[in-house]
Structure 1
Amino acid sequence: DWDRVLSYSRRIKTFSDVDYREGCPVPDMSVLESMTRSLPAGALLPHVRHLFCSSSSPLLSLLPSLIGARVSSIMIELTSCSWRFSAVQKLALPCLTSVTIVSDGGEEGQAVVTKLISDFVRCESLLRKIDVDRLNFSTLRHSSNLKHLEHLDTEVITGDLFCSREDMSVEQPFPALLTLSLRTPYPPLLAKVVEITTFPLLKQMWLYASNLSLTFDPTALLSSIGARSSSHHLTSLIIALGCNLSVLNWGEHQFRTLSALALKPLLALSNLSQMELYYPGLCPLDDAFVESMARAWPGIQKLHIECQYDITATTSPTMQSLVSLSQHCPLLVYLRLNVDATKIPSARLPAQRRALHRKFSSWEVRLAPIESAHKIATFLSAIFPRLQMVCYSSPSRKEWDEVNRLISAFAEIRADERYLIVQNGLPKDAD
C-alpha cells in the first residue's frame, strides 16, 4: 500500500542507519532496493532534516535514493569501510548547514581519511557548523570564506602553512565565527591563523598543539590573541601547548620559559569567564600579576593555569594572590593555580565581601609547599566560605589532607551557625 507507506515516510524528519549495527537485524535489502527503484529519487524520505549514517551500514549505498534534498544536518561515522563514503558524496544536500564527521581510524591512513572529509566539506557553501576529525589546510582556508560559519571544530594535520593574509581569498576571514576549536601538531600554525584573522564575533577560542619543540616561543601566539580577538565578545579561552605530553613528564623537557610579560596581552580580554592555559615550560608568576589578572577578568568563573612548577622559585604567587581573586572576581567557581602556601596574609575580608563568594568550591594545587594546615584552612574558609575542598598533587600529602578535614569541619560549623541565625529571624545566607 504505497499511499500508507508514503503518508508515514513523509512525516519522518530524522533518519539514522546506525541502528542496524551491533547485532541488530539487517533489513531485507532486496525489498528496499525494489522500493527505491519504484519511486523517484528521494521520494521515500523527502522531508528528512537530520541524517545520521555510518560507512559500515548496509543502507549506505541506498541513501542517495532514499533521502530527499532537505537535509540540514548530517553526522557521519567513518569506519574501516570508509571507501564506501562515496555514496554519501552523491547525496544532493543544497540545504546542508551542519556537518559532523568522526573517524575510528580504521585501516586507511590519515591522509586518505583527511582527503575524504576535506573533499566533502569543500562542496558545501552554506555551512554554519563544521565539526570534523580533521581537515587539510586548503579546506581550512576554504572554510574561512563561508559567510555563515559559526562553529568550527577540527584538527589540521596536512598541507602547507598559511603564509599571510593574502592567502585568504576574503578581506575578513571567518566573519561570523562564534566558536573555534583548532587542533594541530604544528604549534606555529595556531599563531599564524590568529595573526591573520580578526574573528570579529568570536566568543570561544580553544587552541591545542602537540609536537611542541623546545625552541617554540608562544609569545607571538599570546600577543596575537590579545590583539586580534575582540575583547567585547571573547568569553572562553583555552590554550593547550604540548598537549600530547603527560604532566608527570613535563620536568623532563626544557621548554622556553613563559614570562608574565608574554601573558600580559591576554589581560585585554575583559569579558573572559573561562581561561585555561596548559604549557609544559616554566611560567613564573607573582602576586602582582595575579592581581592584574583578577582586575582584568572580573567575570572569570574558571581560571586554570597549568605550567611546570619551580618549587625553588622566589617569586611564586602566595596566598595573597587568593585575596586578590576573592576581592575582584566574585563569580569565581574553580581555580587551578600553584602557590607558595608558607606565606599567609593576616588580613581578612569583611563579611559583606565574603558573602559574594557562595559559588567558589574547588581549588587545585600542584607541588605547593605548605607550612601550617590549620592557618591555611582558617584563611581559606575566611575568604571563600563555600570552598569544599583543595585538590592537590604535592609531597605535603598529610598537610593538605588536614586542610581538607578542617575546611569540612568549618563548613559544618557555619551550617550550624546559619541554622541558629535563621531560627532567630536573621537572613539565612549570612556567613
Structure 2
Amino acid sequence: MHHALQIDEIARCICAQISRPGPSDWCDGLPVQQYPRGSCDLSNLARTCTTLSEPSLDALWSFQGTILHLLRTMPSDLWDITIQVPRGVDVSDANSREENMSLGISPRRIVRASDWGRFAFYARRVRSFKDRHVHSETSVVYDILATKFPNGAVFPRLEIIDWASKDSQLFHHVRLFLSPGITRLHIHSNYAANFTILETLSRELPGLKNVDVSGAAPNSFTSPFVGALHDLETLIVWNLDLKAFEHLSRLPRLRYLWLMSNTPPRLSPRPKDLPCFPALRIFECESIEAAPNLLEQMGRSLVEFRLSSRSWATSPTKQVFQELYAALASSCTHSLLQEIAVDEAWHAQQINHTQIDLHAVSGDDLRQLFCFRNLVHVSLAHRIAVDLDDVVALDMARAWPRIEVLEFPCDMAQCIAPRMTLEGLYAFAEHCPLLRELSLLFDATAAKSKLASEGKQLRVSQDTLTSLDVAYSSIGTKKREWRRVAHFLCLIFPKMSKLEATQPDSSADARAWAMHRAWMQVSNKTF
C-alpha cells in the first residue's frame, strides 16, 4: 500500500469522495447529508482494508435516518422488529424508504449491559441524525435508551439533528441526542407546548449555527431562544418579537434568514454607520406588506431574495408588487443581487375577470428590476400571467445578459392573451447566451410573428438552453403552422432537450386542447 494512504487525512478524503452525499432536503441555505451513495463500496472497503477501515466506517455511519440500524447491531434475540413500507415507495432508495416506513419495535427480553458494546462502537461515528418516526410504536426504544444514557448524548459526536414528533407526548425524547458539538438543529412539532424545550436547547447547545424552528412554535418560546444564540449563520423561524429581531440584525455571521410569519416585526431606522444584517446574503419572506421595509434595512448585501404567498389572506394588487419591485431596486446593491423569486402559487384565490387589470403585473412594471445586471435566476409566479410584449422582452434580455433561469409560470384560469411573439423569444436567444431554462407565455401563431411569416434570416443560434416551458402559449393548429414553429425553435435553440406545454383542464374549450396537441407535435419534431 502506498504510504500516502496511511495518512489519516488523505484516507478520509478518499472515503468522502466515495460517499458522495446526496442532495439536501432541508432548504437552499442548509445542505444536509443524506445516505452515502457509495455505501456498498464503503462497506467493502471497511471489511477488506485495515488501514481504511476506520475512516470507511465513519463515512458509512455518519448519517442515520432512523434508530433501526443501531438496534440491529445489538444481539439478534433482543428486539422484535416489524417494518411496513407503503406500496409505490422505492425500497431501493434508503432515504425514501425510511421517510415512509412504519416501525414497530419491542424488546423480547431485558437489556443487559453486555448488549451495548457494538451499539456504542457505531454510535460514536454518527454525525447527523434525522428521526421522523418518533411515535408510540418506537417510544419503548427511547425509554430504554434513557436508562442507558441518563444524561443524553446517545451519539457523542453528533453535529446535526433533525427531529419531528408525531406524538405530543414523545417530543421530549430529543433530549437523548443533545450533544455540545451540535451546530445544526431542525425541530418541528404541531404542538406549541413541545417548544418549552427551546430554553434547554439554548443552554446545552452553545455552538448552534444553523437553526430551523418551524411548526407551531410560539413567539414566547422562539424569541428568547434566538436571542440567546450568538453564532447563527442560518435561521428559519416563524415568529419573533422586536427584541429578538434586533438581536439578529447585529449578528456578524448571519447569512441566511427565512421569516415565515406574515407579520414580522418592523425595525426602526438605524444610522448608516450601524448596518443591519451585515453578512446577510439570502432572505426569504412571507409578508409582502412588510417586505419593502425589511429590504430597506437588510437589502444592501443580499444576493438572493425570495417571497412566498403561503400566509397571504388575499391576492395583492398590482400596486403592491410595484412597491415591492421599487423597494428591491432602491434597497439592494445592483451589482450583487443574483436571484429574485416571487411565488403566488401557494395562494389559491381566483381573481374575478373584472379585476384582472387591478392585479395583472405588466412587463413595464418589471422595468424597475432591469438595473440588476448580474441576475442569474428570476422566477415571478404571479396569479395572473405577466403581460410581456416584444419590446419589454428585448429590453429584459439586454438588461439580464447573465440570466440562466427565467420563469414566468401561470395558471390557465388566470391567463391573459399573450402579446409577446416569437420576436420576443428570439431576443432571449440573441442576448442571453447563458440561459438554460425558460418558462413564459407567448403567441407563436405565424400571423403575429414577422420572423415566422416573413422568413427573416435567423442570425443567432443559442446553444445553452435545454428546457422551454410554453405553458398555455398560443400556436397555430394547422400542420404547416406548428411545423414552422418547430423549425424556428430548432434553429435558435439547437440544444433544447425538453419542451413542456401545460395540459388544459377538463373545462377547457376545443381550441385550447387543439393548441396543446400542436405543442406536443412541436416537441416531437424539435427533439
**TM-score of Structure 1 vs Structure 2, range by shorter chain:** 0.7 to 0.9
Does 2:141 match 1:27?
yes
- Where does residue 183 of structure 2 map in the other structure? 72
The aligned runs of 1:280-359 (5 Å cut-off) are 280=383, 283-306=386-409, 309-311=415-417, 316-342=419-445, 343-344=448-449, 345=451, 346-350=455-459, 353-354=460-461, 356-359=462-465
Does 2:255 match 1:150?
yes
- Where does residue 513 of structure 2 map in the other structure? 397
Higher RCO (CA 8 Å, separation ≥ 6 residues)? 1
- Where does residue 239 of structure 2 map in the other structure? 135
The aligned runs of 1:44-63 (5 Å cut-off) are 46-54=156-164, 56=167, 61=172
Query: What is the alpha-carbon distance in structure 1 between the residues aligned to residue 341 and residue 407 of structure 2?
Result: 9
- Where does residue 363 of structure 1 map in the other structure? 469
1:72–1:97 contact (8 Å) kept in structure 2:
yes
1:51–1:75 contact (8 Å) kept in structure 2:
yes
Query: What is the alpha-carbon distance in structure 1 between the residues aligned to residue 161 and residue 383 of structure 2?
Result: 41
Segments of structure 2 that go 5 or more residues without pairing to the other structure are: 1-112, 505-510
Three-state SS of the structure 2 residue aligned to 1:239 is: strand
Label 1:130 to 1:279 Cα distance change in 2 as closer, same or farther (>3 A).
Answer: same
Query: What is the alpha-carbon distance in structure 1 between the residues aligned to residue 171 and residue 387 of structure 2?
Result: 55
**Post-superposition shift, 1:236?**
1.6
Under a length normalisation based on structure 2, what TM-score does the superposition of the two structures give?
A: 0.64
Does 2:524 match 1:408?
yes
**Matching residue's letter, 2:305:** M
Residues 275-297 of structure 1 deviation map (CA, whole Å, 9 limit, x = unaligned): 11133357433211111111111
- Where does residue 84 of structure 2 map in the other structure? none
The aligned runs of 1:66-145 (5 Å cut-off) are 67-80=178-191, 82-91=192-201, 92-103=204-215, 113-132=218-237, 134-136=238-240, 138=242, 139-145=244-250
2:146–2:176 contact (8 Å) kept in structure 1:
no
1:137–1:158 contact (8 Å) kept in structure 2:
no
Q: Pick the structure with more helix per residue.
A: 2
Query: What is the alpha-carbon distance in structure 2 between the residues aligned to residue 159 and residue 151 of structure 1?
Result: 16
Which residue among 342, 355, 358 is the counterpart of 1:239? 342
Label 1:384 to 1:400 Cα distance change in 2 as closer, same or farther (>3 A).
Answer: farther
Residues 54-102 of structure 1 deviation map (CA, whole Å, 9 limit, x = unaligned): 454877546557633222111112133x413323421312111011223
Query: What is the alpha-carbon distance in structure 1 between the residues aligned to residue 441 and residue 334 of structure 2?
Result: 27
Residues 290-349 of structure 1 deviation map (CA, whole Å, 9 limit, x = unaligned): 1111111122122122465432x7xx2111001111111122222222222231212242
Under a length normalisation based on structure 1, what TM-score does the superposition of the two structures give?
A: 0.77
- Where does residue 376 of structure 1 map in the other structure? 485
Which residue among 168, 189, 193 is the counterpart of 2:294? 193
- Where does residue 305 of structure 2 map in the other structure? 205
Label 1:393 to 1:370 Cα distance change in 2 as closer, same or farther (>3 A).
Answer: farther
Query: What is the alpha-carbon distance in structure 2 between the residues aligned to residue 213 and residue 192 of structure 1?
Result: 17
**Matching residue's letter, 2:269:** R
Which residue among 479, 495, 518 is the counterpart of 1:386? 495
Query: What is the alpha-carbon distance in structure 1 between the residues aligned to residue 487 and residue 240 of structure 2?
Result: 54
The aligned runs of 1:154-193 (5 Å cut-off) are 154-158=259-263, 160-162=265-267, 164-166=268-270, 171-184=274-287, 187-193=288-294
**Post-superposition shift, 1:9?**
5.7
Label 1:101 to 1:287 Cα distance change in 2 as closer, same or farther (>3 A).
Answer: same
Q: Relative to structure 2, which stretch is displaced further, 288-297 or 362-371? A: 362-371
Residues 389-413 of structure 1 deviation map (CA, whole Å, 9 limit, x = unaligned): 24146743323422431442353xx
**Matching residue's letter, 1:95:** G
**Post-superposition shift, 1:48?**
2.6
